[in-house]
């Protein structure tokens, strides 16, 4: 396979209160429940998911996360024109 040339040792530091994080995550899961703005996406993921959506006349976005993944999607025009 080859030789390992370097191996990174990662230090972890907890920066958020676990109880506050769990409460916030629980609130953010409602975006993907029936009636939420991300409900249609949750049906294809088959895993716990939480996130936040936002929209204006000019763009729309979704930032979401699972225990293993994080992603943000933005839809809009660079020329600041309305999204129909």
pLDDT digits (tens, 9 = 90+) for 23-46: 999 999 998 888 888 888 777 878
**Sign of CA pseudo-dihedral 16, 19, 22, 23:** negative
Q: What is the mean pLDDT of residues 72-76?
A: 94
Provide the pLDDT for residue 59. 94
Provide the pLDDT for residue 83. 87
The helix/strand count (H/E) of the chain reads as 2, 3
Say how far apart CA 55 and CA 72 lie, in whole Å: 13
Q: What is the mean pLDDT of residues 47-54?
A: 90
């Amino acid at each position: 396979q080859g030789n390992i040339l370097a191996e990174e040792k990662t230090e972890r530091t907890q920066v958020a209160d676990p109880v506050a994080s769990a409460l916030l995550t629980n609130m953010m899961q409602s975006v993907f429940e029936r009636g939420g703005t991300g409900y249609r996406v949750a049906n294809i993921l088959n895993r716990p998911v939480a996130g936040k959506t936002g929209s204006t006349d000019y763009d729309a976005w979704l930032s979401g996360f699972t225990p293993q993944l994080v992603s943000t999607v933005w839809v809009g025009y660079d020329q600041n024109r309305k999204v129909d």
